Amino acid sequence: MSLPYQWILFDADETLFCFDAFAGLKLMFQGFGVDFTPADFDEYQLVNKPLWVDYQDGKITAAELQTIRFEPWAAKLAVTALTLNSAFLSAMAEICAPLPGVRELLAALQGKAKLGIITNGFTELQTVRLKRTGLQHHFDILVISENVGIAKPDVGIFEHALHLMGNPARNTVLMVGDNPHSDIQGGINAGIHTCWYNVHDHQAPAGIAPHYQVSSHHALQSLLLGA
């Protein structure tokens, strides 16, 4: 390797996997006889997005996020919010796909570094998705915030991961993720190196300075392996 990393940790959604929430919701609601529209999605996001911020800030639990976001629809359809959430996660697993270049990157890294995932996503989706895509064998650890009870960017979830990794020197660990707040700031808080997967070429938020930035998995592979 051209960079001295023993471990490379990845975020899951929009870093390794495409996460098309609208497509997943549309597929899920078909099962309930609902034609889910872009306007419906906008209304859903008005509830969902602030909940994710509260979850990352430790103000609500994973269970609360997963139920509260579907409560308005649960009331309309006379089903439980948990039923809708489970159907949504199943739909997301059904449409899941790795982002372009992910399979090639993981294959190229095989045997050159240990790999892990740290995700704020939910257990019901993560494990099924890894199995369906056949990528599970690439990863030595899978750390899911719902299981740990702490979400990125809290340093606690990184400390948990580092413990599972055998507490390697922090400058030998790289965190790769698309979210500058949860992935990059979280990695910085934990004292590990960070790479922002910045496919849309956004400006970094004030005060957040990743060690590296890439806009594709091919670029990440070149950065890590000189390939």
CA angle 13, 207, 118 (to 5 degrees): 25
Contacts of 62 (CB under 8 A, 6+ apart): 55, 122, 145, 146, 151
Cα dihedral 128→152→156→88 (10° resolution): -30
- Say what angle helices 81-94 and 21-30 make with each other, to 10 degrees: 120
- Tell me whether strands 212-214 and 141-144 are parallel, antiparallel or unpaired: unpaired
* 147: number of Cβ within 10 Å: 14
**Residue positions counted in the chain:** 227
Q: What is the dihedral of CA 3, 19, 120, 187, to 10 degrees?
A: 20
Catalytic residue among 11, 13, 154, 178: 11
Tokens representing residue 200 in the block: 């849309």
d(CA 30, CA 87): 11
Residue pair 86/32 in contact by the 8 Å Cβ criterion: no
Alpha-carbon distance of 194 to 188, in angstroms, equals 7
Active site residue 13: no
Q: What are the catalytic residues?
A: 11
